[in-house]
Amino acid sequence: MEITELTIENFRPYYGEVTIKPRTEADHPLILIRGKNDTGKTSLFTAIRFCLYGAENRAEYTEHINRTAAEESGGTTRVEMTFLHDDEVYTIERGINYSQVDSADDRQAANWYREVRGPNGDIVEQGAKEQEYRRFINRILPENVAPFFLFDAEELQRFEESHDETVRESIETVLGIQEIENAVDDLNDRKRNFDREYADFESTASEVEALREELRDVMDELDEIGDDTEGEIAEIQEKIETKKANRREVRQELDKIQDTEPLRQEKQDLQEELHAAETDLQETIEQRDKLRRELGPIMAARGRQVFRDNYDIEGASGEAEVLHQIINDDDRDTCICGEPLTDEKHQQLSERYVKLHSPQRRRLTALMEICQNVDTVVSSELDRYQQYQATIRRLRQNIEDTQAEIEEIQSQIDEIEQAAKAGLKEKETQLNNEIQELEGTLNKKRERKGELTSEKQRLETRIAGMEEADSEAERYRELSTLAERCEQAFEDIKEELVESRRKSVEDHATETFLKLTNRPDYYQGIEITENYELQVKTPNATRSLEEQDPSAGQTQIIAYSFIAGLSKYTTRNAPVVIDTPIGRLDPEHKANLVDFYHEFSDQVIILYQPNELSTDDIGEMAEFIADHYEITIRDDDLSSSTIKELPDVMEAAAEVES
């Protein structure tokens, strides 16, 4: 399916007739439609859905009528879509008739219609029943699969519940599995009819009659238990789905509670700082300890200081020898300083020599000289040791402060979540328990059904072996057996196809996710369970989205990847229409998605706000863009909008940014 033309007339903010022709080519699958807030971007998205599937009630039909048009005169609100499907051209038109009113608030949908025109004329006329239209649209794009092709990117978190029964059926429809399931159900119905014919067949043999009576009782109980479409099993499943719907509402309320993501990010940043500080501390301690093992110079320095502080070591090296020469030179009459060598002076020099020449003084002087040789090295080593000690004290204090901050932030997170979520979590737990109890009952019913089915087969085998069974009864038995074999064959085909398609979708979703995520080194892919529940694979574990609890942006990327996988293997070739494409994505996610949009489908229509896609973003997509439109407010009516084609993609983007 490829939309080739869309005409909107008097629909919501679009006054009068507005037409766009979003034709695409194989190498140019992208259509960009730019619109500021409150200009009609989402209304255009709504118009596409309305044209395909109509509205729920009169009030919704009335909301679609343009206010200005209703005040001006009576008329028709309509949306007309022309598209290609299997190389044939089709047109769907939906309209709402209304009368003129004095105030737009009083406008009212009088009646509405829809029709389908094909290559050879009308396919569904205006007066045809809805069932006839549903048969047509189900061949193109059934309503239950539309959310995988027409979606608001900001609401993609709903795929967290993608394992629910309704969504599971939609996914299987997208993958072409539901048609096989329908065939299985039809064969099951035929088999039941044949079984009843066989069980009701009259026989004169009393034993056969008794067996058939027993068989009827078994079949009645089987009918009472039912299956996925009717009976007790269906009722229990419906209750389970109701409980799950209630649980979804609770989870939606939980999502509205204050977001703790900024606090969690702050905590993560502090944890990284803590790890870095602990690493630095360990390295500094190792360096200090290494220096401690080299304490010889430090102890020498300390000994030298003790000598300096506690002993009066005077005299220069060799002073004693010089004094000895002067004292023993009888012919000398002057000192080396030039002063006369009197008797008094001679006496002073002798006393000085005796003091310097004592054994204790000589040892201290020699030790002082040795210590002096290491003075320079010791000084630098002491400085370095003190620096290590100061760094260790500072790092330990930083670690202690950071740990305190982390505990305080965690306390804030716990306080927010415990206070706000306590009641809802309790309700969620209660619903989980009720769902678990119902699923237990459902399993018991299915076990009983298995027992009854075995008993039924036993009775049928005995009855079939009775000689009194005539050719008519035998024919019904053969037809029942044939229907059962065909049903089993289709079941086998379905199981094989389900597993094959699920694995293919999983592989492509993983490939896409690793392209789009901003953490490809952490995430390892996406896993899809048998119930189509999305799970995220990391180096440490594989967890459901609820357990992994990714951010809103990461959840949006996971959903995008899942949709890409479905689009790759769908049997429904349809355009992808995305409203608010970027949503809550960060710049890295956004850049990855911009590079990927052209791979989603053969036709991708993106309705974006100017601040979502920059000139650089559009430049990245330029080679894949087939056309570019802009939604603007009309000059002659500020309450109405129109759509114009932009002549040059890059010029238009640059003009908006400037």
**Residue ranges of domains in the chain:** 1-141+572-588+598-657
Other C-beta atoms closer than 10 Å to the C-beta of 256 total: 10
Residue 285 has pLDDT above 80, yes or no: yes
Per-residue pLDDT, 291: 83
- Please give the average per-residue pLDDT across 465-489, as a whole number: 73
296-310 helix and 359-373 helix, angle to the nearest 10 degrees: 130
Taking only Cα atoms into account, the Rg of the chain, rounded to an integer number of angstroms, comes to: 44
Nearest CA to 555 out of 576, 583, 531, 587 is that of 583
**What span, in angstroms and rounded, lies between the C-alpha atoms of 239 and 627?**
48
Q: Which residues of 407-416 are buried (b: 16+ CB within 10 A; e: fewer)?
A: eebeeeeeee
Per-residue pLDDT, 366: 60
**What span, in angstroms and rounded, lies between the C-alpha atoms of 578 and 149?**
8
Check if the beta carbon of residue 586 is closer than 8 Å to that of residue 519. no
Strand order in the sheet with 604-608: 121-124, 109-118, 88-98, 75-85, 2-11, 14-20, 641-645, 625-633, 30-35, 604-608, 576-579, 150-152
**Residue that has been written with the tokens 């048998």 in this structure:** 530
Residue 162 has pLDDT above 50, yes or no: no
Nearest CA to 33 out of 23, 18, 44 is that of 44
β-pairing, 604-608 vs 576-579, is parallel
DSSP string, 408-473: HHHHHHHHHHHHHHHHHHHHHHHHHHHHHHHHHHHHHHHHHHHHHHHHHHHHHHHHHH-TT--HHH
Per-residue pLDDT, 105: 95
Per-residue pLDDT, 159: 54
Other C-beta atoms closer than 10 Å to the C-beta of 536 total: 23
Predicted confidence (pLDDT) per residue in 508-537, tens digit: 989 999 999 988 998 999 998 877 788 899
* 1-141+572-588+598-657 CATH pick, 3.40.140.10, 3.40.50.720, 3.40.50.300, 3.90.1640.30: 3.40.50.300
Percent of the chain with pLDDT over 90: 40
Check if the beta carbon of residue 186 is closer than 8 Å to that of residue 273. no
Residue 600 has pLDDT above 50, yes or no: yes
**What residue type is assigned to position 232 of the chain?**
E
Q: Which residues of 132-148 are buried (b: 16+ CB within 10 A; e: fewer)?
A: ebeeebeebbbebbbbb
Per-residue pLDDT, 339: 77
28: which DSSP letter? B
- pLDDT band (50, 70, 90) for residue 204: very low
Per-residue pLDDT, 59: 94
Residue 127 structure tokens: 């007066």
Predicted confidence (pLDDT) per residue in 216-257, tens digit: 899 899 889 988 888 899 899 889 989 988 988 887 777 666
**Residue that has been written with the tokens 């089709």 in this structure:** 90
SS3 305: helix
**What span, in angstroms and rounded, lies between the C-alpha atoms of 226 and 235?**
9
Residue 142 has pLDDT above 90, yes or no: no
Nearest CA to 357 out of 329, 321, 326 is that of 321
- Please give the average per-residue pLDDT across 405-409, as a whole number: 91
Per-residue pLDDT, 330: 73
Per-residue pLDDT, 205: 47
Half-sphere exposure of 77 (CA within 13 A, CB side): 31
Of 363-367, 435-439, 581-585, 629-633, where does the model show the most confidence? 629-633
- Please give the average per-residue pLDDT across 282-309, as a whole number: 70
Check if the beta carbon of residue 514 is closer than 8 Å to that of residue 193. no
Q: 447: which strand partners?
A: none
Predicted confidence (pLDDT) per residue in 418-456, tens digit: 766 777 778 888 999 999 999 999 999 989 999 999 998
- Please give the average per-residue pLDDT across 111-134, as a whole number: 94
Per-residue pLDDT, 367: 59
**What residue type is assigned to position 51 of the chain?**
C
Per-residue pLDDT, 372: 56
Per-residue pLDDT, 658: 52
Tell me, rounded to whole angstroms, the distance of Cα 468 from its chain centroid.
Answer: 65
SS3 527: strand
Residue 362 has pLDDT above 80, yes or no: no
**What span, in angstroms and rounded, lies between the C-alpha atoms of 19 and 5?**
7
Specify the range with the lowest mean pLDDT, choosing from 10-14, 62-66, 303-307, 608-612: 303-307
Specify the range with the lowest mean pLDDT, choosing from 82-86, 187-191, 198-202, 395-399: 198-202
- pLDDT band (50, 70, 90) for residue 363: low
Per-residue pLDDT, 72: 95
More confident residue, 550 or 404: 404
Residue 655 has pLDDT above 60, yes or no: no
Per-residue pLDDT, 368: 59
- pLDDT band (50, 70, 90) for residue 479: confident
Phi and psi, residue 575, nearest 5°: -70, 155
Enumerate residues 6+ apart whose C-beta is below 8 A from 569: 175, 501, 504, 505, 508
Predicted confidence (pLDDT) per residue in 30-39, tens digit: 999 999 999 9
More confident residue, 158 or 56: 56
- Please give the average per-residue pLDDT across 482-498, as a whole number: 75
Nearest CA to 175 out of 619, 516, 563 is that of 563
Per-residue pLDDT, 515: 92
Check if the beta carbon of residue 495 is closer than 8 Å to that of residue 474. no
Residue 557 has pLDDT above 80, yes or no: yes
Mean per-residue pLDDT over the chain, rounded: 83
- Cα angle 318-322-328, degrees, rounded to a multiple of 5: 145
Of 372-386, 393-407, 499-513, where does the model show the most confidence? 393-407
Residue 325 structure tokens: 């020469």
Residue 523 Cα distances to 264, 511, 536, 543, angstroms: 19, 11, 7, 11
Per-residue pLDDT, 69: 96
